[in-house]
């Protein structure tokens, strides 16, 4: 069942928002690239820059994954299981990367996945990302584990979505939703794959904890990474005070740096579908459920009132060995044809985005690479990252022989599976997801 979302508040002129993006066709049409970013030729290149700039614990948190990293690795590997069947001799001179989702027009088929603690790696990171997404006309999901108050981010990007990590008791959930409802946020993304905290052994090895514990090692990391220390951490302290976890609850949470305070991870293991139904009754905006990997769960979420699904295994951060979102996507699209199904996890290239869309995704979200871009070069890094990925999508569309992304839905034979199908299961669909797309 679908629910009408309220009209967009404080939105720009609709005709301006609906204007198709300008697709650069020649090198001279591209915006100037700062000298320090001229060797950044794809999203993967940002990681090395971020790793050099960030202290080891901060980078370790951003790059971290659960246990052996099997789920993290397979998120990327899954895209290699599909190959394109391009059409040739098609006039693609007037192609557009624009997409329409939930009545909104976006300039490209990708958005910003929620990234926690962005303001630790980048000065005012959540605001930097919100402004970059708004300027580029892209969707952005603000993380509930952010260090900047959600009210500020909602002002910076009124069309952004808010990701909620549900507190452990119903009264606290009600208060959090009431708080979000008082802002410009009209879309709430409820993440459902975090019943307990994950195994943090890899981030612990990097020296990260939440909150961070003052130590000689942490001091050394600050001294040996002065650009981060003065450009992000001390600048934040001087202008805004000690960062806190601001949005897990209706009230402020723990500070990011403390020798004794513990972050308040409330137990969520008892939460169930009745809690989602209660949220649906309370929340009058658009409701998205993130963290679905099974078709039966997707149907239950839809029947409980979800307006959309994000297929995700939390970037490989939660259950190691969980199926890659791309492998789970076709069955979930088949199970819920009446609501938009989206995807995140392992996306690095324009070809990844087009493969996901050919398998039914209506939008694809990018996480770590945009975090690395912001950490490496702030707003300039994000603009360059968005430009690189948008041009890749446009170029790949041309070589695939399409001018509009809706043609991927109508011509599913443009992508074929080249690897064995994943396990057959009634939990995924009535027919295997591994048939040719």
3-state secondary structure 38-78: CCCCCCCHHHHHHHHHCCHHHHHHHHCCCCCCHHHHHHHHH
Q: Which residues pair with 289 in a beta bridge?
A: 190, 309
* Contact (CB, 8 A) for 110 and 370: no
Report pLDDT for 200: 87
CA-CA distance, 92 to 57, in Å (whole number)? 46
Task: Measure Cα distances from 215 to 57, 140, 243, 244, 258 in Å.
Answer: 12, 35, 18, 19, 10
Higher pLDDT, 339 or 267: 339
According to DSSP, residue 311 is labeled: E
Tell me which residues are annotated as active site.
Answer: 314
Q: Which of 18, 216, 261, 232 is nearest to 120 (CA)?
A: 232
**Pick from 269, 316, 293: which is nearest to 166 by CA?**
269
Question: Is 385 exposed, middle or buried (CB count within 10 Å of its CB: 0-12, 13-18, 19+)?
Answer: buried
Query: Does the pLDDT at position 363 exceed 60?
Result: yes
> Which pLDDT score is estimated for 261?
67
Q: In the structure, what pLDDT confidence band is assigned to residue 265 with cuts at 50, 70 and 90? A: low
Q: Quick one: average pLDDT of 187-204?
A: 93
- Confidence check: pLDDT of 18 > 60: no
Whether the per-residue pLDDT at 20 is higher than 50: the answer is no
pLDDT number for residue 2: 45
Q: CATH for 36-407, among 2.60.40.10, 3.30.70.141, 3.40.630.10, 3.20.20.70?
A: 3.20.20.70
pLDDT for 14 beyond 50: no
> Averaged over 68-83, what is the pLDDT?
96
- Sequence-distant (≥ 6) Cβ neighbours of residue 48 within 8 angstroms: none
Known binding-site residues equal 61, 114-116, 143, 163, 165, 191, 290, 312, 314, 317, 344-348, 367-368
- For residue 8, pLDDT beyond 90: no
Domain spans, the chain: 36-407
Q: What is the pLDDT of residues 51-60, one digit of tens each?
A: 999 999 999 9
Residue 81's H or E segment, with its range, is: none
Which band of pLDDT confidence, cut at 50, 70 and 90, is reported for residue 344? very high
Assign 232 a pLDDT band (cuts: 50, 70, 90): very high
Average confidence score pLDDT of the chain: 89
Q: Identify the bridge partners of residue 290 per DSSP, sorted by sequence position.
A: 191, 310
Lowest-confidence region among 28-37, 66-75, 225-234, 274-283 = 28-37
Res. 421 pLDDT band, cuts 50 70 90 = low
Q: What's the pLDDT score for residue 412? A: 67
Measured at the CA of 295, the angle between CA 290 and CA 297, to 5 degrees, comes to 55
User: How many other C-beta atoms can be found within 10 angstroms of the C-beta atom of residue 170?
Assistant: 14
Q: What band does 259 get if pLDDT is binned at 50, 70 and 90?
A: confident
Cite the annotated binding site for glyoxylate by residue number: 61, 165, 314, 317
Measured CA to CA, the distance from residue 393 to residue 421 in angstroms comes to 26
For residue 146, give both structure tokens: 């952010």
Single pTM value for the model: 0.89
Taking only the tens place, the pLDDT of each residue in 377-403 is 999 999 999 999 999 999 999 999 999
Q: How confident is the model at residue 419 (pLDDT cuts 50, 70, 90)?
A: confident
The residue assigned the tokens 């170029």 is 395
**pLDDT of res. 12:** 39
Calculate mean pLDDT across residues 273-286.
96
Tell me the average pLDDT across 276-284.
Answer: 96
Angle at which helices 368-400 and 125-136 cross, to 10°: 20
More reliable by pLDDT, 269 or 266:
269
Q: What is the pLDDT of residues 82-136, one digit of tens each?
A: 999 999 999 999 999 999 999 999 999 999 999 999 999 999 999 999 999 999 9
Question: CA quadruple 387, 388, 391, 393: dihedral positive or negative?
Answer: negative
Asked if 191 contacts 275 with a C-beta cutoff of 8 angstroms, the reply is no
């Amino acid at each position: 069942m679908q629910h009408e979302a309220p009209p967009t508040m404080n939105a720009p002129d609709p005709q301006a928002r609906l204007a198709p993006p300008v697709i650069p066709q020649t090198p001279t049409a591209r915006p100037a690239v700062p000298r320090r970013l001229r060797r950044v030729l794809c999203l993967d290149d940002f990681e090395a820059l971020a790793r050099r700039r960030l202290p080891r614990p901060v980078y370790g948190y951003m790059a971290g994954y659960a246990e052996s990293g099997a789920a993290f690795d397979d998120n990327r590997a899954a895209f290699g299981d599909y190959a394109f069947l391009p059409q040739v001799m098609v006039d693609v001179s007037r192609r557009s990367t624009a997409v329409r989702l939930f009545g909104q027009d976006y300039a490209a088929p990708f958005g910003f996945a929620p990234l926690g603690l962005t303001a630790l790696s980048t000065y005012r990171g959540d605001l930097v990302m919100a402004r970059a997404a708004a300027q580029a006309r892209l969707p952005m999901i603000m993380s509930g584990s952010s260090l900047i108050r959600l009210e500020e981010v909602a002002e910076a990007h009124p069309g952004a979505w808010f990701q909620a990590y549900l507190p452990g008791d119903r009264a606290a959930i009600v208060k959090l939703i009431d708080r979000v409802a008082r802002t410009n946020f009209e879309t709430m993304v409820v993440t459902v794959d975090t019943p307990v905290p994950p195994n943090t052994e890899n981030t612990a090895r990097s020296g990260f904890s939440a909150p961070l514990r003052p130590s000689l090692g942490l001091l050394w990391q600050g001294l040996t990474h002065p650009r981060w220390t003065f450009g992000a951490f001390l600048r934040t302290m001087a202008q805004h005070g000690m960062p806190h976890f601001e949005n897990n609850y209706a009230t402020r949470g723990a500070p990011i740096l403390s020798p004794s305070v513990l972050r308040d991870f409330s137990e969520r293991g008892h939460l169930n579908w009745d809690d989602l139904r209660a949220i649906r009754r309370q929340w009058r905006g658009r409701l998205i459920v993130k963290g679905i990997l099974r078709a039966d769960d997707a149907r239950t979420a839809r029947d409980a009132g979800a307006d959309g699904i994000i297929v995700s295994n939390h970037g490989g951060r939660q259950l190691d060995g969980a199926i890659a979102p791309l492998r789970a996507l076709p069955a979930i699209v088949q199970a819920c044809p009446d609501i938009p199904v989206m995807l995140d996890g392992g996306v690095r290239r324009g070809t990844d985005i087009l493969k996901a869309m050919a398998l039914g995704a209506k939008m694809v979200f990018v996480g770590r690479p945009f975090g690395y871009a912001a950490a490496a070069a702030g707003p300039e890094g994000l603009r360059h990252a968005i430009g690189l990925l948008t041009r890749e999508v446009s170029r790949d569309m041309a070589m695939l022989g399409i001018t509009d992304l809706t043609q991927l839905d109508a011509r599913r034979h443009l992508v074929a599976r080249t690897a064995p199908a994943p396990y057959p299961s009634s939990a995924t669909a009535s027919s295997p997801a591994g048939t040719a797309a």
